[in-house]
Structure formats: C-alpha cells, structure tokens
Amino acid sequence: MKILVTGGTGYIGSHTCVELINSGHEVVIVDNLYNSSLDVLDKIETITGVKPKFYKVDILDKEKLEEVFKENKFDAVIHFAGYKAVGESVAIPLTYYENNIAGSINLYQLMKKYEVRNLVFSSSATVYGDDFEVPFKEEYGLGTTTNPYGTTKKMNEMIITDMDKAEPENSSVLLRYFNPIGAHASGLLGEIPNGIPNNLVPYIAQVVAGQRDFLRVWGNDYDTVDGTGVRDYIHVVDLAKAHVKAIEYAASHKGTEVINIGTGKGYSVMQVLKAYEKACGHDIPYQIMERRPGDIAVCYADTAKAEELLGFKAQYDIDEMCEDSYRFTCNLKK
C-alpha cells in the first residue's frame, strides 16, 4: 500500500516507517519538523535501504497538505502528527486544541475529498482516565481525561467514530498506546525529549547521561508491589509492528475499532530503574518525592483484542527495552 504517515519523522512515526518499509509498503511522510529532524530520513534509509518521500508541511496548512494529496494517490493514512506534552497542554490548551484537533480535521477532510478510506490514529491509554479497573479493556469506552492533551485524544476518537458512521466505506483503527519506551536496535532511532522530560525512561536516560543529578520518584505510597506507580511499558519497535498490522487490518475491514497496544504486564518505577541499572551496569541515583498530581497508581492493558483482531503480541521484555534505550543514549553522546 502507499501510506501517508503524518508525524513520520517523530519517535513512534520513524520506527513505524521502518517496519512499514520492511513489510513492503510505500511510505510518504508529512511532518513540520517541530519535534523531529530531517536526519531521521537518512537513518531510515540506513536501516531499510529506502529513503521515504518527505514533505515539510504543517497539517494546519490545509492548502499545502492538499498538494500532497493531489500529488499522491494514497491507500491509507497513519496519523501521528500532534503535540504530546501533558504539562504544556495545561499551560497552553488552545495551542493543543488547534494543532491536535484543527490539524486532524484538515487531514480527515482531505481524506474524504480524495477518497482515502483507511486510517490508523495514535490514541493513548490516557483516555481511560482514572475511571476503570485494571486491566483496561477497550469496551470500557472513554473515561474522564485530566488534561487538554488527553482530551484531544478523546475528541479525535469521537470525531473519527462519527465520521465513520457517516461514511460506511471508511475503516479506522484507533490504537490506544500504553507507555512506549526503548529505541531501534541499530541505535539510530529513538526519543530525543524536548527540554526536561516528563516521562520516566527519558528522564532516567538523562540521569545516566549526566544531564540530571537524580531521578525523582513520584511517590512510594501507592498500593503496588513496592509503593511506586505501575505502568505497561511497550517497546517502540513492538508498537511500530502493531501499526503495520493495524493498517493492514483497516484496509480489509470497514467501521471503527479501538485497540489497546501494550504488553499486558505492569512494572513499577523501581523495577524499571533496576532494569535500567542492569542495562548500564551501575547504580542510578534517585530520591523519593511526593506523588505527582494527576498520576494514577496502576495502569496496564487488556491485550486480548489486539491478539484476536490483529494477531499482535508484544515480543520485547523490560530488560531489552532498557538496553535499547541505553544504546541510543550512548550513541547520542558520540
């Protein structure tokens, strides 16, 4: 298939382009390079032997985005482009709603105009909010989101569902990612956080790289194995492979499916820290702090639907996720 990948030079998008190319698909990337850089295209070429066609276009610029649709006949779209910093979304909500909602609507309108029926959208486990029991199941529906970023994911899910009801030829898969971490085994692709990382593993990576003094562990009084928060970490390469299965599923079905992508297993902050210490070969300094506002104690996926509909099961374990993250971090310093 010829697939438009918005946000394709970003962290998850770049890994997904590699897996799409390796599966024989043709990839066209649209990205405004707000949170990524052009050299990612060379890295994709080094890994796959193919340099994807690239357009530096902001999805808010509908005229320029339409040029991309005029020049290419797409079979499908995977939509990653968006802002993703939770704290920032609280501070500048309108910017988040504009980029993640108005930008997405531009894209969906062009898909309708150019009759591109198949879509995979990057949603998040954040749409479950704190309303449900673990493991989170797709049938729970949408919970109460606690920040504008999460609300943009929930609104996109609602918009796509309504759009597909009105257009019965459409087929969309809404992937609810749990916590993507890790990097490509080549050490060439990974996550480069903008400023101080909010997420656990990018923060640990910066402590290990000497950019931060210690990890702040947000609370050790939760009702969990060791009192620290538990999450379902998934290797970004597993997540990328799930996108290949999801877009192929979309192309052979109709309607809207919501599918969790996680491992189904939870690890505490201290367990992740230990795995990272094993990967880098030394202790990593940390301090226990107060709980972070808005955090939930435990979050992990029910993965039955991904297995049943997509035949997807995550392969990498937490040690491999930390080893690959560490390798990428070491390469950044070179």
Which of these segments, 19-27, 56-64, 70-78, 288-296, binds ligand UD1 (CB under 6 A)? 288-296
Residue 9 lies near ligand NAD (rule: CB under 6 A): yes
Residue 215 lies near ligand NAD (rule: CB under 6 A): no
Pair type for strands 230-231 and 267-268:
antiparallel
Distance CA 68, CA 121 (A): 19
Q: Which residue has the tokens 């357009």?
A: 55
Site for ligand NAD in 111-170 (CB under 6 A): 122, 124
Contact pick of 48, 72, 199, 220 for ligand UD1 (by CB under 6 A): 199
* 316 is an active site residue: no
Here's the x/- map for ligand UD1, 225-264, by CB under 6 A: it reads as ----x-x---------------------------------
Pair type for strands 286-289 and 215-218:
parallel
| Catalytic residue of the set 11, 83, 96, 149 | 149
Distance CA 161, CA 236 (A): 26
Asked if 83 and 100 touch (Cβ cutoff 8 Å), the reply is yes
Closer residue to ligand NAD, CB minimum distance, 140 or 254:
140
Task: Please name the residue ranges forming H helices in 129-228.
Answer: 148-166, 200-208
Contact pick of 54, 55, 80, 276 for ligand NAD (by CB under 6 A): 80
Distance CA 129, CA 86 (A): 13
User: Pick from ligand NAD, ligand UD1, none: which does 106 bind, CB < 5 to 8 A by kind?
Assistant: none
Which of these segments, 14-22, 60-68, 161-169, 212-220, binds ligand UD1 (CB under 6 A)? 212-220
Residue 172 lies near ligand NAD (rule: CB under 6 A): no
Could you tell me the smallest distance in angstroms from the CB atom of residue 68 to ligand UD1? 28
Query: In the chain, where do the E strands start and end?
Result: 2-6, 26-31, 53-56, 76-79, 118-124, 171-177, 179-181, 215-218, 230-231, 233-235, 255-261, 267-268, 286-289
Which residues are part of the catalytic machinery?
149
